[in-house]
Structure 1
Amino acid sequence: MNNIFCGLFIVGILSACSGNGDLSISVSDSDDEYEFVAKYDKAKTQRVQDFINARMAPATSVKGDHVDITTKLDDNTEFKLEEDEGRLRILLDKDANTDASYHRIKSMCEGVKRIIQEK
């Protein structure tokens, strides 16, 4: 009887953990660069694109299945954006940007992180 309960408990834990699919988030914040890399549920790609577009507006917008751009926003924030369905990489050169630009991109990435971690 205890083995049955243990088995059901383990199955429940495994199914709860598998809900995010292949979710991984990596943030690197050195003196020279800020890099955000994420792999997430492909079904969230449109929400991620919409969020990024709202944060970059009106300078540019992200559309399509594959994006690989270096963009400059109206406040002169310049960064590299690579996106495929379920994958995102944002790279900011701190030497080429202001502290305000760094905080803008970091805040945007934290918002993306919240979206992709939602169940």
Structure 2
Amino acid sequence: RMLVSLCSRYGDCNENSSSHQFHLPQNFQRYPQLMYHLRRSQVLQVFNNSPDETVFFRLALKKESTRNSLLILQPRLLSYSFDSEGRPLPVPLDATSVLPDRILLLDTFFCILV
């Protein structure tokens, strides 16, 4: 409810056009995505974690820098291909990122998956 009220307060809805469009200001564009991942992260979800693991994840979030804390909350998925000259491209955490000519690397701060 708070996310909807925040978006309705600061968002801009264009109802006059044929396709209804909703825009958030530049500084709020990643907020819904971060809230989604925060609510599902191991920092807040205690189900299937021991109390020690819960404390570990919460302390790690508190002690790390802002960049690392964002990585803990929302993992980063990088795509490597032979066409991009070895430079990784960030891709969304979605099934559409899986392509046959790409190598995906998931960085969750605590582990890296290839």
TM over 0.5: no
Could you say which structure has the higher helix fraction? Answer: 1
Structure with the larger RCO, 1 or 2 (CA within 8 Å, 6+ apart): 1
TM-score by length of structure 1 reads: 0.21
Q: So what's the TM-score if we normalise by structure 2? A: 0.21
- Whose strand proportion is higher, 1 or 2? 1
